[in-house]
Amino acid sequence: MSETPSSPGPTATTTMKATATVQRHTATVVADRFDLMTWRDTYEQSAGLRELTAELSLRHDGATDLLTDAFLAAYQARPRLRDRAEMDPSRLVDHHVLSSLMEPPDFAELRRTTAGDPYAAAMAVLAMAPSLRRILQRAQEAQDQAGQAEQDAVAQQPTESVEEAESDSRQAGRAAEAAAQAMTAAARGLRADAHAAAARAARVARQEAALMRIWGITAGETERMPFAQRLQLAERLRTSRLARWADLIGRFRQMACGERAHKVENAGGELIGITLGDDLSRVVPSELANLGLPVLRAVFAARYAAGELMLYDNRGEQTTGRGAIIACVDTSHSMYEEGPGGVTREAWAKACALALLDQARDAGRDFVGILFSAADKLQVFRFPAGESAGMPRVLEFAETFLGGGTSYQRPLSAAADVLRQEFDDAARARGDIVMITDDDCGVTEEWMRDWKDTKRQLGFRVFGVAVGAPRVAEADSVLDALCDNLRCVEDLTDVHAAADLFRLI
C-alpha cells in the first residue's frame, strides 16, 4: 500500500495563509485613485516637484514615495497612515518621517490652508525641502550604522557558529535589531527635522495666503487658476515693487471696507426734525397710521401726490457720486521719499489708489487710475465696472513709476476727458477725482477757466491729498484752489488719515 504524504497541520496552514495574505506597501499614507490622480497631475505641472524628486532620488530610492506621502498628508481632509507592520521594510524610514511630520500643531495649522488645494499642498512640500534633505541624510547615516552593526555582530560570533549566522532568519534578525538601534539613535534628529519641516511649510502657506488676501484675490479665484498661472502670480506678488508694503496695502483696503460698512450703517444721517415730502422711507408713524383707516387712505394718497407727507428730516454726509472714480497718482521722483516707518510717499499713494479701486468695484462704478509726473509723462489704466479688474493689470498699475517732475494740468485734463466721455456716452455725472501728490505746481489762467467750466458742466468733485508735504495743502496753494476737499497726510503709516474719502466717495 502506498503511503499518503502527510499534510501540514492546522497551525502550519494558518501561518502559510497569513504569510501569503500580508501585503507590503511602499506608500505610508492611505490614498484612493482620485488622490493619486491629483498628485500625478500636480507633479506633472510642477517643475519644482520634479526637480526635488530627482535630487532626493540620489540619496533615497523611495524619494518619489516620500514626496507623494508628504503631498497627500497636506492635501487630504483626513490623512491616515498605514500600520508599520504593513510597510515594506525599505519604507519604514518614510513611515517614521510622516508620523513625526504630522505630530506637531504646526502641521494641523498647515492643513487649514492646504487641505483640498493641490497647489497649496505642492508648495508645502517644496517648503519642506531643506528639512527633507536633512532627514534623508540622517536616515542614510542610520542605515550605514545598521550595516556596520550587522557586520560587527557577525564578526563577533564564534567560528563554529558563523555558518549558522549565515542563515536567512538569523541574519535578518540581526539586521533588523541593528537597524532599530541605529534608527533609535537618529530618531530625535529625524523628529526635530520633521517638526521644522511642518513649521516652515505652515509659515510659507500662511504668508502666501495672506499675500493673496492683501491683493484682494479670493480663495475661489486662486483655486480656479491653472497651476503655472497661480505659481507665476504668487512669485510676482512676492517680488513686486510694492511687496515690501503689502501690509500697508492690506490695512488700507481693510480700513476702506470698514468705512463703507459704516457709511451704509449710518446712511440715514442725523435726525434734525420734521419736513414735508414724498420719500416713503422717511414717513413718520402718524402718517402711516392713516393707511390703516379706509376713510383716510385717500387723504394720504393726496398728500403723497402733493409731496406734503410729514417726513423725518435727516442731515447726512454729502451724496456720493455716480460717475467714475478717478485716482490721479503723482509718480515724480520726489514720491520715492520715505516718511515715518520707512513708508514711501509712492507706497501710501498706491495703497490709497488700490483701496479706491475696491470702492469703485463695490459701488458698481468705473475706476480709472492716472499715473503722472512731468507734462510729457502720463499713463492711464481703465477698469470698467462691468469687467473683471484682472490681477495682472492691477499689478501693472501698482508697479508703474514714471519719474521726472510734476504737472497738474495734463492728468486733471485727462481725468476731465474721461468724465466728459462718460457723460456723453451714458449720461452719468457726479464723478469723483482724487489727486494724490507731494508737489505744488502752477496752472495757466486759461486752463483754470476751462477747468471750472467743465467742473460746473459735469458736476464732478475733486478731492486732494498732499502726501508728506504740508505746504502743498496750504490755503493759498494751487491744489487748494483746485479741490473741493483737501487734506494733508504726514504720518504715512496712518491709513485712517484718508478715512473720510471712503465715506464721501
DSSP output for 271-297: EEEEEEE--GGGB-HHHHHGGGSHHHH
What's the pLDDT score for residue 173? Answer: 57
What's the pLDDT score for residue 153? Answer: 60
Tell me which residue of 3, 87, 73 sits closest to 31, measured CA to CA.
73
Tell me which residue of 399, 365, 483, 471 sits closest to 434, measured CA to CA.
483
- pTM of the full predicted structure? 0.69
In this structure, the number of other CB atoms found within 10 A of the CB of residue 69 comes to 27
Report how far residue 477's alpha carbon sits from residue 483's, in angstroms, rounded to the nearest whole number: 10
Query: Residue written as cell 490652508?
Result: 113
Query: Residue written as cell 501561518?
Result: 15
Q: Which three three-digit cell numbers place residue 141?
A: 547615516
- Beta carbons of 286 and 312 less than 8 angstroms apart: no
Report how far residue 210's alpha carbon sits from residue 484's, in angstroms, rounded to the nearest whole number: 37
Tell me which residue of 460, 376, 463 sits closest to 417, measured CA to CA.
460
Strand, helix or coil for residue 135: helix
- pLDDT per residue of the chain (505 residues) written in tens, 0 to 9: 444 444 444 444 444 444 445 578 999 999 999 999 999 999 999 999 999 999 999 878 888 999 999 999 999 999 999 999 999 988 888 888 899 889 888 899 899 889 999 999 999 999 999 888 888 887 777 667 666 666 666 566 555 455 554 555 555 555 555 555 555 555 667 778 888 888 889 888 888 888 888 888 877 788 788 888 888 888 888 888 888 888 899 999 999 998 887 764 444 444 455 677 777 767 777 777 777 777 777 888 887 877 777 776 655 444 455 789 999 999 999 999 998 888 999 999 999 999 999 999 999 999 999 999 998 999 999 999 988 888 889 999 999 999 999 999 999 999 999 999 988 877 777 899 999 999 988 999 999 999 999 998 898 999 999 999 889 988 889 999 999 999 999 999 999 988 989 988 8
Q: Provide the sign of the torsion angle of the four alpha carbons 432, 437, 368, 383, taken in this order.
A: negative
In this structure, the number of other CB atoms found within 10 A of the CB of residue 89 comes to 12
Tell me which residue of 182, 80, 73 sits closest to 128, measured CA to CA.
73
Residues with Cβ within 8 Å of residue 40, at least 6 apart in sequence: none
CA dihedral (493, 496, 497, 499) in degrees, to 10, reads 150
**Amino acid at position 162, single letter:** V
What's the pLDDT score for residue 273? Answer: 59
What's the pLDDT score for residue 462? Answer: 95
Strand, helix or coil for residue 312: strand
Report how far residue 135's alpha carbon sits from residue 129's, in angstroms, rounded to the nearest whole number: 10
